[in-house]
Structure 1
Amino acid sequence: MQFFTSLPSSVRQYLLVTGNYWSFTLTDGALRMLVLLHFHNLGYAPLEIALLFIFYEFFGVVTNLVGGWLGAFLGLNRTMNMGLALQVLALSMLLVPSSLLSVAWVMAAQAFSGIAKDLNKMSAKSAIKLLFPTGAQGALYRWVALLTGSKNALKGIGFFLGGALLALMGFRGAILLMAVGLAIVWVLSTKFLREELGKAKAKSRFRDVFSKSRAVNVLAAARLFLFASRDTWFVIALPIFLSNQFGWGHWQVGAFLAAWVIGYGIVQATAPKITAGISSTVPDGKATMSWAAVLALIPAMIALALHFGVHPLLTTLVGLLAFAVVFAVNSSLHSYLIVSYAREDGVSMDVGFYYMANAMGRLLGTLLSGWLFQIAGLEMCLVVSSIFLLATALISLALPKHGIDSNPTAPAVS
């Protein structure tokens, strides 16, 4: 504790924000896997399972839109802690006896979880911009990549944790353990996170939640299709495909998806080094378009190989590996650009608007993942994913081009 208090204030706040975000993400990933595997085990069809997550994604859209305004009005510390408290509530709702665990009740719990997740994420991403001096774009890119990548690595661990806890402790035991752990984090966060973090100096009007920045609006549109492309085949179709096609159990599905997301998170965290090896300048809209175009080829090639029966298991695993690497760089570039484009006073409003589009993409992808897989299989999910990625690349052509002569791997500006 003495070491922690001796650190500069901005470093302490970064560590608090990151630790808060990490803790939440761990339970979020585990909860998704628990619900997916538990209800698949009960005999629910893919589309029915997708419907369990509809409120999670829908309220993520609403929360990002309203949450950005709340962050500017109340301060990011409050919105972040509100997210933690709501996640504890969502987990607690799932502790009711099995006879009361209806689809409607689970959907309501997922609604609170969706609100919680996006309050927490919007707050964390917005807070990072406020902890770096204006003009330190290289350092900002690297630290945003680190936060985003580490979050996704932990989400992957959460997937594994969900599958493992379901096998070891059952559904209710796993939920109880996570609720207690997150409640402890909430108490610590409430005590130590700085007040007034991210609170706008000027009075924020609700109509300002709709961004007036062309760059933010274009990036938000690209983000919508980027995340719809991933979730169209990843969130429902893939886990059920692995279970049905290859006979994988809870441990195997959870462990594999965990490894995929962890690897994806590691690539996200190192994206500045990857892009620096290609260009010495901080990435711009042109770079985002190029990476999206490359990514569009991967699901199309996986679908083609599956259609012709080219070793389905090897095709799926190798294709997933390639998709993870290129998607991670795309996502990291987007996460940096929104923080870079966002205004400083009321940063949470631009970031919230952008992540509203992210949540809309996830909502669309989740619905399509269950529906397309049920009527046409994984190949159709992959084809639609590729189409969405082509849309992402075309939209990215309208992003600003700049030539900041900055090395993103240089030491951070203190």
Structure 2
Amino acid sequence: MLTDGALRMLVLLHFHTLGFSPVQLAYLFLLYELAGIVTNLSAGWIAARFGLTSTLYAGLGIQVLALLALAALDPGWSLWASVVYVMAVQGASGVAKDLSKMSAKSAVKLLAPSGEGGLFWWVALLTGSKNAVKGAGFLLGAVLLAVLGFVPAILAMALVLALILLAVLLKMPAGLPQGRKGAKFREVFSKDRNINRLSAARLFLFGARDVWFVVGIPIYFYAVLSDGSEEGNRAAFFMIGTFMAVWTILYGAVQAAAPRLLGAAKRPEAELIREARRWAGFLFLVPAALAVLIWSVGAPGAGLTAAIVIGLLVFGAIFAVNSSLHSYLILAFSTSGRVTMDVGFYYMANAAGRLLGTLLSGLSYQLGGLALCLASAALLIALSWAGAGRLRSA
């Protein structure tokens, strides 16, 4: 997750300085998100068939290869040749990330203690720490780009990740499922209405985040903070990376604390389903208010930028509670025999939401700036709220 976050920031900022438009920057991440849809849909079956450790090892190994491939990018290639090549490498990175994430999330269902609130607590802790590490990766990517440059930064990350893969191969404890030969791919598609409705809510929730997060806010801050000089670019890279890191680390910290904030250990599943609806309503208010504020103020200034930063940090905290509730409910709704397939299907919807958000991020920013990105986020959250509103307790 550290290299995943760093790679995203490296690619975004490096190619923005090369003159890529917001829509072209969005293209760079499309295959990454599309690969996530395919990977999550198939990874649940692969893990059920071949075991959870196989998908974890594959995820780490593919990420090392993706980093090495990106380091081989030839600056003499044409614009569109570079776009296609980076899209392909990002696609491989998306496969790597989702194989690793699905493996870890599924293992929680099988390893977490069965006491009151135990599952929610462990899901929240894993998810929160994962996102905090990814947030640190955003800052790491921006700093490495400013200090080392594009290729040395990527090679350094590949080396560290290869050492981690070696350590995991040598030290992986026994106890995770080894797979079953009779697992059928068609079993991936759930017939449980709650799982399907929750997956739809998840799709729109993550679309609402990425519609401003992927392209909109980094490019907005770059326009506000950089004067176009090399020194100005470095300062802008650091500030953008810092914001993205702080936002994601805050998001992860609130995710980890969500069971305690909600008093989950003493609340039945039906009440937590109602909380998922309620927190989606709270989340809608933030991007809607920010969109109105930006449209009414017009020209960016220090005051408006400060309000956007504060508003998006509030968005991140409320978004984290929503995400944590979803992550608990998917495991609560699934059975031990289907957990990898249900989690894979659910994260397929998550990846589809990121793909939708990525597409809309570049397009919305190009057509209407950050205000339109945030207005689109509010609309997607309303759709997520509608999906959560149809969940029913067992």
Q: Could you tell me which residue of structure 2 aligns to residue 297 of structure 1?
A: 285
Any idea what the Cα deviations from partners look like across 1:233-258, whole Å, max 9, x if unmatched? 11110100011134361111101111
Equivalent in 359, 367, 392 of residue 359 of structure 2: 367
Matched residues in 2 for 1:138 and 1:110: separation? Answer: 37
Give the partner amino acid of 1:98: P
Q: Could you tell me which residue of structure 2 aligns to residue 8 of structure 1?
A: none
Q: Could you tell me which residue of structure 2 aligns to residue 154 of structure 1?
A: 133
2:50–2:180 CA contact under 8 A, matched in 1:
no
Say if 1:200 and 1:215 are closer, same or farther in 2 by CA, change over 3 A.
farther
1:209–1:350 CA contact under 8 A, matched in 2:
yes
2:49–2:180 CA contact under 8 A, matched in 1:
no
Q: Could you tell me which residue of structure 2 aligns to residue 7 of structure 1?
A: none
| 1:237 correspondence with 2:216 | yes
Matched residues in 2 for 1:117 and 1:296: separation? Answer: 28
- Of all paired residues, the percent bearing the same amino acid is 49
| 1:335 correspondence with 2:327 | yes
Task: Give the C-alpha shift of residue 164 in structure 1.
Answer: 0.1
Worse-matched range after superposition: 285-294 or 350-359: 285-294
| Structure 2: segments with no counterpart, 5+ residues | 227-234
Worse-matched range after superposition: 121-130 or 240-249: 240-249
What is the number of equivalent residue pairs in this alignment?
377
Give the partner amino acid of 1:269: A
| Structure 1: segments with no counterpart, 5+ residues | 1-24, 403-414
Matched residues in 1 for 2:11 and 2:292: separation? Answer: 31
Q: Could you tell me which residue of structure 1 aligns to residue 294 of structure 2?
A: 306
Matched residues in 2 for 1:47 and 1:137: separation? Answer: 47
Alignment RMSD: 1.8
Please give the residue correspondences for 1:41-56 in structure 2 after superposition, counting only pairs within 5 Å: 41-56=17-32
Q: Could you tell me which residue of structure 2 aligns to residue 218 of structure 1?
A: 197
Any idea what the Cα deviations from partners look like across 1:182-237, whole Å, max 9, x if unmatched? 01111111222245723445721111111122111111000000000000111110
4+ residue stretches of structure 1 with deviation over 4 A?
A: 277-283
Matched residues in 2 for 1:384 and 1:346: separation? Answer: 35
| 1:183 correspondence with 2:175 | no
Give the partner amino acid of 1:157: A
Structure 2-normalised TM-score? 0.92
Matched residues in 2 for 1:238 and 1:121: separation? Answer: 25
1:137–1:340 CA contact under 8 A, matched in 2:
no
Please give the residue correspondences for 1:3-402 in structure 2 after superposition, counting only pairs within 5 Å: 25-96=1-72, 97-100=74-77, 102-133=82-113, 135-194=114-173, 197-201=176-180, 203-247=182-226, 249-276=236-263, 280-281=267-268, 284-309=272-297, 311-401=303-393
Say if 1:85 and 1:202 are closer, same or farther in 2 by CA, change over 3 A.
closer
1:198–1:347 CA contact under 8 A, matched in 2:
no
Matched residues in 1 for 2:326 and 2:48: separation? Answer: 22
Structure 1-normalised TM-score? 0.88
